[in-house]
Structure 1
Amino acid sequence: MEGLKLANAPMPLPLISAASRPRRLFSPVTFARNLHLLRVEPMTQDMVENRENEYPISGDDIRTCFLNFYASRGHKILPSASLVPDDPTVLLTIAGMLQFKPIFLGKEPRSVPCATTSQRCIRTNDIENVGRTTRHHTFFEMLGNFSFGDYFKKEAILWSWELTTKEYKLPPERLWISIFDKDDEAFSIWHDDVGVPKERIKRMGEDDNFWTSGVTGPCGPCSEIYYDFHPDRGHANADLGDDSRFIEFYNLVFMQYNKKEDGSLELLKQKNIDTGMGLERMARILQQVPNNYETDLIFPIIQKAASLAKVSYAKADDSTKTNLKVIGDHMRAIVYLIKDGVLPSNIGRGYVARRLIRRVVRIGRLLGIKGNGEGIQECAFVPELAKTVIELSDQIDPDVKGRTNHILEELKREELRFVQTLERGEKLLDQFLSNALLSSRANGGKPCLDGKDVFLLYDTYGFPVEITTEAAEERGVSLDMNGFDIEMENQRRQSQAAHSAVKLMVGNEVELAQCVPDTEFLGYDMLSAYATVKGLLLNGEPVTEGYEGSNMEIMLDRTPFYAESGGQIGDNGFLYYEGNQDGKSTVTVEIKDVQKSLGNIFVHKGIITEGKIEVGSEVCAAVDPILRQRAKARFFRVTLSQTALRTVIGQETSQAGSLVAFDRLRFDFNFHRPLSEEELLKIEELINQWISDSTLLQTKVMPLSDAKKAGAIAMFGEKYGELVRVVEVPGVSMELCGGTHVSNTSEIRGFKIISEQGIASGIRRIEAVAGEAFIEYVTARDNNMRRLCSLLKAKADDVTGRVEAILEELRAARNEISALRNTVAILKASSLLNRAFVVGTSNIRVVVESMDETDADALKNAAEFLVNSLKDPAVVVLGSCPGDGKVSLVAACTPSVVKMGIQAGKFIGGIAKLCGGGGGGKPNFAQAGGRKPENLQDALEKARTELIALIEK
């Protein structure tokens, strides 16, 4: 962008005067198209279709301008945090301030006095509004400037106004301000210092303009800047909540209070600034388009989707435009989620990714978008859309392009998997419609598809209601939309409740943050140390003392105990104090786990087995050395596992989680297929070779940037500061890791993979043993082999052949038994031929009988024998109780019976329900089962009655 530059020298943080104000960050040439006369009316069709080079300013330039503006005023530009936050209370990164939460809480020292970021965010609480309004998104960028006790309200307001009116050149007369109704200081700054007229400053209540982080904790009033698209409507009765006229694009939070448990407010020692400007909203304003979706940040994705759907966005109806907007929005969220390691699954963050992908797929199919081929393996279109998102990613996240292949492959697999689900849904829809028709014939009413069934198809199988409606109308079936709306509202209510339950902090955490210092970790160099008790929790509530038998959470000022992080579990051990002449009693606490809270407070969880523990008392903290050594061996094995995996199956593989327990380890990684036996053996060989090399580990602390330049790999689940601990096995691996490690690879002793399996879409898991557990595992396996050799009376080398021979003999015996059972079943069935009865004018022969304990396979053969023997037209329904509380049912129909509308697959399912089961199959043949053998006779009687009714209808 022409003229977009960083000022030569940082602006001093005190108040800005006209004389000292730095020069603008881009020249007026950028806005030569009369930007101050922003048009409100929609673009013409030709302008919409050919807008690629028509934007007055790009989204990238808007972002750069914001960051450079604040950089010139002493702010450090920091990178966007991952969409996966280092905060267990938040599922995904929802705001720019999230990465600074420990600083705002006072739990981490500020590394800079003030910062500016462009933070990638995801919110799904308003997902149903995406595409329907002008401004709702799941993925968006939040531009922010933050002060950590450096400047405050006046500077924040003056700079926001200067950025908005001088750099972005928004007409001042189109800007409205909201403030907290009791914030007279903010009103004075906006009115007296900035010059905003009183009639354009709106005082609003606590719900709108007072920001809180939770029930207690840092909080403060906020002030928002709105853009007015229709100043012609005047000032009287103007409502800032009117989306057709106003859009709020910049929020300034003045974090000046601490909210106490009784609801009272006290001034913070350090006042902070937390702001957020919606990049998409500012782009909408500056690019003169009617909604956020038609900006250059999203519209190229919409254009690609329209091209695949073979439609014109400008000429499309409102429904089609909405669907294209949803695709444009969701595709951004999908790509950046996968890039940050979130893979589609049925839980947590993975469910968010899966839900968004499936929404894109089903909307795309509704629009008629298809892939490049006819076969299911070539029908994926989502990767094609992702390519456009990736092309736009340079300024948003430059690391995205390096993950292109991984992103596209993951999207293709998930889309094809969902297409198969949709096909299953089509079969279920057909079944629901048939049931509705059968029910209406029986009851004499009009056929209607239950609202719960419509919602099941929508929510589980991805069927848009429009598709269900169209299919139902073709069969003469209506939809219970009231029932569907109830189910949808229930889900929305649950989703909003879950979203509301997520808080940035809770009361007890805030109290701990204020009274308990960070824990000094001593465990790299020692396994025992004296420490002072700084805090106690009993059942989650702060207490001053704990007694024998109580399960406590204990905070110390210093500790040798490792707290669980990065996959390594917390240490076990004891806290104790030996009573002596000073009159103090003996205290013993058995520690079973150690966790981190609020960044760097170590919480020791254990039971008091003797005496009483008090806040302020001194104890000796002692780690169990044997368990620590076992954990060290296994944890370091995880680091070698990552290196070995990358060597054997490719550098695209990345860690997706790990667990290092005292008796085993597991390593989760991203990969799309099972590993072969050859690959697993190769991984084992590599790791055991590194162990046998007896290499000394090198540990050093260095700046994070230097570590990354040196090639150090980050460990999954770890958070890193500016200084990081780097553990290196020369010639093998270099990791950023805060875990405990052996000093020499030989201490691991050995490594053995005991299983490899898939645990979620695109995620595999290796479970292994190492160190002492490796010796125990090998010894146990050897003992088992000795016993097996004894039982088989064979040498170890001959065991495999002997077992294969026994299995072959067993298979032959089973086949012989099965053949005998079939013969017996057919003999029994032949005796049922004379029990067939004739129904209806078509003289249909019907057999409905029980065959005692015949198993399912033999029952199937008996039914086939009977229906073939009876000849067309005929119907056979057989049932049996083969044992173990099971029921087997089978139905068979000849072709002319099927033409009458009697289908075995649909008929047998309803019969099986009486036996506590279900089933189905083809129109001419179907099987079912159940768990209530006592109801078999009733089920067969129902089958007999319903068949007669259907035939005679």
Structure 2
Amino acid sequence: MSLNAPSLSGDEIRQKFLDFFSKRQHQILPSASLVPEDPTVLLTIAGMLPFKPIFLGQKKADYPRATTSQKCIRTNDIENVGRTARHHTFFEMLGNFSFGDYFKEQAIAWAWELSTKTFGLPPERIIVSVFENDDDAFAIWRDKIGISAHRIQRMGEDDNFWVSGPTGPCGPCSELYYDFHPELGDEKIDLEDDSRFIEFYNLVFMQYNRDIDGNLTPLANQNIDTGMGLERMAQILQKVPNNYETDLIYPIIQTAAEIAGIDYSKADEKTKISLKVIGDHVRSVVHMLADGITASNFGRGYILRRLIRRVIRHGRLLGIEGVFTPKVAETAIALAEKIYPNVRAKEINIIADLQREEEAFLKTLERGEKLLAEIIEKSQNKQISGVDAFTLYDTFGFPLELTQEIASEQGITVDTVAFDEEMKKQQERSKAAHETIDLTVQGSLDQLAEHIQATEFLGYDTAQTQARIEVLLVEGKTVESAEAGEKVQVILNKTPFYAESGGQIGDKGYLTGDNLLIRVEDVKKESSFFVHFGRIERGTVTQGDIVSAQIDRACRRRLQAHHTATHLLQAALKKIVDESISQAGSLVDFDRLRFDFNCSRPVTAQELQQIEEQINTWIAEAYDTHISTMALEDAKAKGAVAMFGEKYSAEVRVIDVPGVSMELCGGTHVKNTAEIGLFKIMSEAGISSGVRRIEAVAGPAILEYLNVREVVVKDLCDRFKVKPEEISDRITTLQSELKTTQKQAETLKQELAIALSEQLLEQAETVGEFKVLVSQIDGADANSLMSAAERLQQKIGEGGVILGSAVDGKVSLVAAFSPKIVKDKKLQAGKFIGEIAKICGGGGGGRPNLAQAGGRDPSKLKEALTTAKKQLLESL
């Protein structure tokens, strides 16, 4: 197929899908953020993920029918991106959903109508599959839709039975495939042949619940979950050979090609793969940044950073020098802004983040090249191990192809078999982390979910309540009772304990009863249940017991002070540093607070002082804290600050310090800022590109902070015999004295090495018109050895000097050659000494006339010097 004008653009396909189901009483809902509410999944990876609580029966659907175009990210098949026709990291899933409303027959009928009437696909080009035991779906396709039985493929559980995980809602599915080559006939249909068939629509009939033993029971409500790949439908309708050449991605590819000076239509396959990777990954990166994800070395931040680095790597493979990702991103932003306006709204941040990441990674690549040089030097049997090659690839973003190319220049190969094994291990880890949508948080809780109510949280208004133990667990398994000394997890019907969320850690406290004492050390929210983690200190506890649940009020006051202080901190940062600053994360603990925020530069010492003074002023002015619940849109209209990328419900809790701060927050707070007492910043630092972190203390925790520092100051005063205000000057003086002493020691070492080397002149051997001196100088470091070698070479005139030493278990070697040796004998000091150093398990290099090398095996030094002398004499 050639690149013809599209019959329908990607935007038109999306709109026609949504309009089709809107006319059939489906509520059109906006795409959810790529940052999911579900804590078990790093990124939104499927269209159904935002509806997980509904499918689990934990939440009532606002509408019986819905339709969406959901942006998704998957990285489990990242190595196939650009190599196959339709693998992506970013894609849009068009979906229609029924929550206990219509089922198989209606879903199949509409899928057929949409495909053949709305999108105009020829019926004879559509093949369908059903689960091998799903006679109902088979009959509907054959008898109601009229598809010939031999064009309905029965397939096994791996292909046509959708599961969310080991337990939970599941069901058979039916898939629609488009046939690119109907002329081949339909006698022997092989749907695995992706050069002929493409799956474009999947209908999941969610009708069962699978328990921990694998048993299937019918759900109370039968649901429909469908997904049509927008990019795949665009490929079909626009008559292009792959998803990348659709109008959804191709303009990004064209921009990259123009920067690289490449004509895509004339490029070889390797070049096209790199361009496709850039086209796909830049879409992912732009949307992830727009949804508030920042590059880091963990979690979704690591996925973002890895994608950016792959873009940069492939740009380098195309010959692009310097920073180029911002320009490519501008094209992706232009393509997305009509449907996703937040992308254009965050354009400045997106471009700035990409600029910083690319500049930083270019330096990382340089470090990778240096590491590769070290690996080559130590490589055994003239081969780089697969583990080393993969470390270069995964940690430094160094392409395997580049590792192989550089290694081959040194006559070294790469163990690609072991490299592939390491890659498979990583893919398996990635697949386990991203491919499955786990609709159950904990097996035991999942089995109990239908029998107990969600925990009622009373902690905003009370610190103590009587409650019933609904579930008692030991090591995650339900038990009837537990005794003193055992660690338990307890679920109550109601609780005053705040469960860890929103950056605030869980409350501490006690559960008490008749001769019973359970010390609660942490509380976490799993699904709709509050799980109290603790140890039984006295008595026996039984499921169904009534206990008194009481939080540790002193700990709660610390949390309240620190949490409200984070709100004041954000307000102060916006006021003093930059209004556009937004929260990137936080921690509210008993002894400190941590606030992460997006900022392209460090906060100056003067600004930190101003921030601290401003917050303490607000505390002293004793502002009342107003807490209310209101509609999300009303809260935004009032100017409430939300954490960017966070998913909020229709009703939100607003924390308002009038005239100072207004934020959406579910945490616990002081009633008046005066309760905070004092606020003190401990540190400010960068934690990743474009993200800064401030750590601080407030309230009672300040006394502990000051006490620790008082002990340190007193100790220093005693040691230095100075007053506290004189400590800084005393340390500066000591540092200066230490530097002077170190310089003197270095000078003495060099003078000693030179003095010792003068005694070696008589050992020089004459070879024709040259003199050769090879010797060991014990105790000389690398710099001293270099000075001695230079001086000896000048003394002997035309000739070569090789010196070696061993200090602290490390070998140092130096070669100094006269100009005549370099010119007439074609000897290079760098290459010569680098080869000699390998004998000692090291390597090195330098200029043709002067070079140094190192090694890790001092026992081989004598052998290395003997070999050096032999080779040098033979060469001369």
Deviation at 1:562, TM superposition (A): 0.7
Structure 2 residue corresponding to 1:102, chosen from 53, 62, 84:
53
8 Å contact kept, 1:867–1:876: no
Q: Report the counterpart of residue 879 of structure 1 in structure 2.
A: 805
Change beyond 3 A, Cα 1:325–1:772: same
Q: Report the counterpart of residue 543 of structure 2 in structure 1.
A: 615
Are residues 1:255 and 2:206 paired? yes
Q: List per-residue Cα deviations over 1:449-470 (Å, max 9, x = no partner).
A: 7666655555555454555555
Q: Report the counterpart of residue 56 of structure 1 in structure 2.
A: 7
Deviation at 1:408, TM superposition (A): 1.1
8 Å contact kept, 1:891–1:927: yes
1:42 is aligned with what amino acid? S
8 Å contact kept, 1:118–1:141: yes
Are residues 1:846 and 2:773 paired? yes
Are residues 1:559 and 2:519 paired? no
SS in 2 for 1:55: coil
Q: List per-residue Cα deviations over 1:279-323 (Å, max 9, x = no partner).
A: 101111222222111111101111111211222222223332222
8 Å contact kept, 1:555–1:604: yes
2:485 is aligned with what amino acid? G
- Equivalent-residue separation in structure 1 for 2:116 and 2:554 (angstroms): 66
- Equivalent-residue separation in structure 2 for 1:868 and 1:530 (angstroms): 91
Deviation at 1:806, TM superposition (A): 4.7
1:179-198 equivalent positions in 2, closer than 5 A: 179-198=130-149
Deviation at 1:391, TM superposition (A): 0.6
Higher mean displacement: 153-162 or 211-220: 153-162
Q: List per-residue Cα deviations over 1:385-439 (Å, max 9, x = no partner).
A: 0000011112442101111121112212222222233334445556677888xx8
Structure 1 residue corresponding to 2:327, chosen from 362, 381, 384:
384
8 Å contact kept, 1:909–1:920: no
1:900 is aligned with what amino acid? L
Q: Report the counterpart of residue 703 of structure 1 in structure 2.
A: 631
Q: Report the counterpart of residue 506 of structure 2 in structure 1.
A: 570
2:247 is aligned with what amino acid? D
Q: Report the counterpart of residue 597 of structure 1 in structure 2.
A: 526
Change beyond 3 A, Cα 1:587–1:286: same
- Equivalent-residue separation in structure 1 for 2:548 and 2:292 (angstroms): 41
Change beyond 3 A, Cα 1:780–1:431: closer
1:573 is aligned with what amino acid? G
Q: List per-residue Cα deviations over 1:344-397 (Å, max 9, x = no partner).
A: 333332332222222222222222234xxxxxxxx2011110000011112442
Q: Report the counterpart of residue 404 of structure 1 in structure 2.
A: 347
Q: Report the counterpart of residue 178 of structure 2 in structure 1.
A: 227
- Equivalent-residue separation in structure 1 for 2:344 and 2:766 (angstroms): 70
- Equivalent-residue separation in structure 1 for 2:791 and 2:768 (angstroms): 25
Deviation at 1:512, TM superposition (A): 4.1
8 Å contact kept, 1:179–1:203: yes
Q: Report the counterpart of residue 587 of structure 1 in structure 2.
A: 516
Higher mean displacement: 413-422 or 124-133: 413-422
Q: Report the counterpart of residue 762 of structure 1 in structure 2.
A: 690
Q: Report the counterpart of residue 261 of structure 2 in structure 1.
A: 310
8 Å contact kept, 1:866–1:876: no
Higher mean displacement: 806-815 or 200-209: 806-815
Deviation at 1:866, TM superposition (A): 4.2
Q: Report the counterpart of residue 555 of structure 2 in structure 1.
A: 627
Q: Report the counterpart of residue 816 of structure 2 in structure 1.
A: 893
1:703 is aligned with what amino acid? A
- Equivalent-residue separation in structure 2 for 1:222 and 1:702 (angstroms): 40
8 Å contact kept, 1:139–1:329: yes
8 Å contact kept, 2:385–2:418: no
SS in 2 for 1:673: coil
Q: Report the counterpart of residue 437 of structure 2 in structure 1.
A: 504
Deviation at 1:725, TM superposition (A): 0.4
Q: Report the counterpart of residue 160 of structure 2 in structure 1.
A: 209
Are residues 1:539 and 2:475 paired? yes
Segments of structure 2 that go 5 or more residues without pairing to the other structure are none
Are residues 1:81 and 2:32 paired? yes
- Equivalent-residue separation in structure 2 for 1:689 and 1:829 (angstroms): 69
Higher mean displacement: 80-89 or 552-561: 80-89
Deviation at 1:120, TM superposition (A): 1.1
8 Å contact kept, 1:848–1:943: no
8 Å contact kept, 2:41–2:433: no
1:242 is aligned with what amino acid? D
1:421 is aligned with what amino acid? T
8 Å contact kept, 1:690–1:745: yes
Q: List per-residue Cα deviations over 1:11-35 (Å, max 9, x = no partner).
A: xxxxxxxxxxxxxxxxxxxxxxxxx
Structure 1 residue corresponding to 2:336, chosen from 367, 371, 393:
393
Are residues 1:236 and 2:187 paired? yes
Q: Report the counterpart of residue 14 of structure 1 in structure 2.
A: none
Q: List per-residue Cα deviations over 1:486-518 (Å, max 9, x = no partner).
A: 312431243124413654335334224334431
- Equivalent-residue separation in structure 1 for 2:536 and 2:160 (angstroms): 47
Structure 1 residue corresponding to 2:219, chosen from 268, 280, 298:
268
Are residues 1:288 and 2:239 paired? yes
8 Å contact kept, 1:451–1:479: no
Higher mean displacement: 488-497 or 554-563: 488-497
Deviation at 1:838, TM superposition (A): 3.4
Structure 2 residue corresponding to 1:178, chosen from 115, 129, 133:
129
- Equivalent-residue separation in structure 1 for 2:599 and 2:448 (angstroms): 41
Deviation at 1:925, TM superposition (A): 3.1
Q: Report the counterpart of residue 651 of structure 1 in structure 2.
A: 579
Are residues 1:721 and 2:641 paired? no
- Equivalent-residue separation in structure 1 for 2:706 and 2:412 (angstroms): 65
TM-score, scaled relative to structure 2: 0.92
- Equivalent-residue separation in structure 1 for 2:592 and 2:797 (angstroms): 63
Change beyond 3 A, Cα 1:60–1:239: same
Q: List per-residue Cα deviations over 1:710-743 (Å, max 9, x = no partner).
A: 2222247965321110001111111110000001
What percent of counterpart residues are identical? 50
SS in 2 for 1:191: helix
8 Å contact kept, 1:591–1:606: yes
Change beyond 3 A, Cα 1:800–1:354: closer
8 Å contact kept, 2:252–2:279: yes
Q: Report the counterpart of residue 2 of structure 2 in structure 1.
A: 42
8 Å contact kept, 2:386–2:422: no
8 Å contact kept, 2:813–2:833: no
8 Å contact kept, 1:848–1:940: no
8 Å contact kept, 2:508–2:522: yes
- Equivalent-residue separation in structure 1 for 2:575 and 2:495 (angstroms): 37
8 Å contact kept, 1:105–1:510: no
Are residues 1:113 and 2:49 paired? no
8 Å contact kept, 1:750–1:775: no
Change beyond 3 A, Cα 1:684–1:192: same
- Equivalent-residue separation in structure 1 for 2:869 and 2:328 (angstroms): 56
Q: Report the counterpart of residue 568 of structure 2 in structure 1.
A: 640
8 Å contact kept, 1:431–1:906: no
Q: CA RMSD in A?
A: 2.9
Are residues 1:492 and 2:424 paired? yes
Are residues 1:520 and 2:520 paired? no
8 Å contact kept, 2:523–2:530: yes
2:342 is aligned with what amino acid? D
- Equivalent-residue separation in structure 1 for 2:298 and 2:847 (angstroms): 34
8 Å contact kept, 1:520–1:558: yes
Q: Report the counterpart of residue 9 of structure 1 in structure 2.
A: none
- Equivalent-residue separation in structure 2 for 1:485 and 1:826 (angstroms): 51
TM-score, scaled relative to structure 1: 0.85
- Equivalent-residue separation in structure 2 for 1:868 and 1:448 (angstroms): 40
2:71 is aligned with what amino acid? R
- Equivalent-residue separation in structure 1 for 2:759 and 2:703 (angstroms): 64
Deviation at 1:256, TM superposition (A): 0.6
Deviation at 1:573, TM superposition (A): 0.8
- Equivalent-residue separation in structure 2 for 1:122 and 1:428 (angstroms): 32
